Amino acid sequence: MHFGMDLSLGTSFARPRGPEVLTNGSFDSGTGWSLPTGGTITGGQLVFTSVAAFDAATQLGLTFDVGAVYEVIFDIASITSGTVRTGFSGGTPQISSTFSTAGLKVFDLTAATGNDRVFINSTGTVTAAFNSISVRKKLY
């Protein structure tokens, strides 16, 4: 089996990933998410309107393999004020960098003991919209 890029052909191949950890990471409905005051899911987006510092949209009851690396793909549609971050919590938190600009953010987080939820939160009062978030275990 070949994974990676064949430079002679310029063809890329997907790296193996496990199944999606989240339910409704595309925000097609409110299913699966606990929302903060000022948070709504509408039109296929999670929207934060003046969400207070450290309030979070959270998905609970997840299962992570301790020590495994997970790829997070976080699509931020807009941030008009403040900054946001995402990560795993319950147990030892695993937290992304803070983001203040829109765009696709791709990064890895390593699951720690007790992690059983994914959060999206603000680090100060924030107004922002999110298109999607995906969390999948890397299998290589």
Domain with 78, as residue range(s), is 31-138
pLDDT digit string (tens) for 25-45?
999 998 999 999 999 999 999
pLDDT one-digit tens code per residue, 44-96 = 999 999 999 999 999 999 999 999 999 999 999 999 999 999 999 999 999 99
Listed in order, strand segments (DSSP E) in the chain are 4-6, 11-13, 17-20, 39-42, 45-51, 56-59, 69-81, 84-89, 94-95, 103-110, 117-122, 126-138
Question: Is 114 part of a structural domain of the chain?
Answer: yes
Arithmetic mean of pLDDT over the chain? 91
Residue 120 lies inside a defined structural domain of this protein: yes
Asked if residue 21 belongs to a domain, the reply is: no
- Number of structural domains in the chain: 1
Looking at the domain assignment, is residue 35 inside a domain?
A: yes
Instruction: Provide the percentage of residues in the chain whose pLDDT is more than 90.
Output: 87
CATH number assigned to the domain comprising residue 95: 2.60.120.260
